[in-house]
């Protein structure tokens, strides 16, 4: 059985800080490493993969498709907000995941974007912020996408605002990085394969360090 994972140090970083003046890049990487280590046993969806395994699979799919480095990092970290919302990240029933049992949307995409904003540029942050909206967009514009949604994903769709209407579709398409968010979303939905071997977090360390906003002197 999983538990609640909290990240007080990341949660205390103010959203929109722009540059990381609070903790060093090394300390931030250490925090990410700790999250991925502790999240190995936290189940995602129906429990076929862990939350961190799901994020690593999403990154692997992005890498296989030749995604640009910022989008690749966005894929790697897209669900990090689940670790900072007191979300009940547990899988304690054979037929229902923590997402299926949720009765409200805790806006993990906004939590993740806020947590990461002091450390990365918008080309990493905004696809993360928009990846839930991208699901709503795809359900409105791609009938084949909508029918292949898992039970868990379909359940959370309702909690997250449901299918977009035409006005919201147009507004979404006008947002910077909306196309990147749609790409992230498709890899996100495909990243639920049990026992798939993919590179671990250490594989992405150099890239993470390269894209981190450096503190001002």
DSSP-based three-state secondary structure for 129? helix
Distance CA 189, CA 168 (A): 22
Domain ranges of the chain: 23-211
What pLDDT, on the 0 to 100 scale, is given for residue 206? 95
CA distances from residue 158 to 24, 81, 152, 154 in whole angstroms, order as listed: 39, 19, 10, 7
Q: Distance of alpha carbon 166 from its chain centroid, rounded?
A: 26
Furthest-apart CA atoms within the chain: distance in Å = 52
- Name the CATH code of domain 23-211 (choices 3.30.1390.20, 1.10.3210.10, 3.90.550.10, 3.40.50.300): 1.10.3210.10
Q: Where are the beta strands (DSSP E) in 48-167?
A: 49-50
Query: Do 32 and 201 contact (CB within 8 A), yes or no?
Result: yes
Q: Where are the beta strands (DSSP E) in the chain?
A: 43-44, 49-50
What pLDDT, on the 0 to 100 scale, is given for residue 57? 96
What pLDDT, on the 0 to 100 scale, is given for residue 34? 87
Per-residue DSSP letters for 132-196? Answer: HHHHHHHHHH-HHHHHT--HHHHHHHHHTT-S--HHHHHHHHTSTTHHHHHHHHHHHHH---TT-
pLDDT per residue of the chain (217 residues) written in tens, 0 to 9: 233 333 444 444 443 333 344 567 888 888 889 888 877 777 776 667 888 999 999 999 999 999 999 999 999 999 998 876 433 333 233 333 444 344 444 578 898 999 899 999 999 999 999 999 999 999 999 989 888 876 667 667 767 778 899 999 999 999 999 999 999 999 999 998 888 999 999 999 999 999 998 765 5
Distance CA 185, CA 56 (A): 14
* Cβ-based neighbours of 77, under 8 Å, separated by 6 or more: 32, 55, 112, 116, 124, 128
């Amino acid at each position: 059985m999983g538990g609640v994972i909290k990240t007080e140090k990341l949660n205390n970083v103010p959203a929109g800080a722009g540059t990381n003046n609070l903790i060093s890049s090394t300390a931030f990487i250490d925090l990410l490493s700790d999250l991925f280590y502790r999240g190995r046993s936290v189940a995602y969806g129906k429990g076929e993969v862990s939350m961190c395994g799901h994020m690593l699979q999403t990154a692997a799919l992005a890498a296989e498709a030749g995604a640009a480095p910022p989008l690749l990092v966005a894929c790697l970290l897209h669900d990090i907000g689940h670790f900072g919302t007191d979300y009940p990240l547990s899988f304690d029933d054979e037929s229902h995941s923590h997402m299926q049992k949720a009765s409200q949307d805790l806006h993990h995409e906004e939590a993740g974007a806020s947590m990461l904003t002091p450390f990365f540029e918008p080309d990493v942050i905004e696809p993360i912020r928009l990846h839930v909206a991208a699901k709503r967009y795809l359900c409105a514009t791609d009938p084949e996408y909508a029918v292949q949604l898992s039970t868990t994903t379909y359940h959370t769709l309702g909690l997250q605002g449901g299918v977009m209407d035409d006005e919201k579709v147009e507004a979404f398409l006008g947002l910077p990085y909306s196309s990147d968010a749609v790409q992230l979303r498709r890899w996100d939905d495909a990243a639920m394969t049990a026992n798939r071997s993919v590179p671990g977090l250490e594989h992405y360390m150099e890239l993470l360090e390269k894209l981190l906003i450096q503190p001002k002197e």
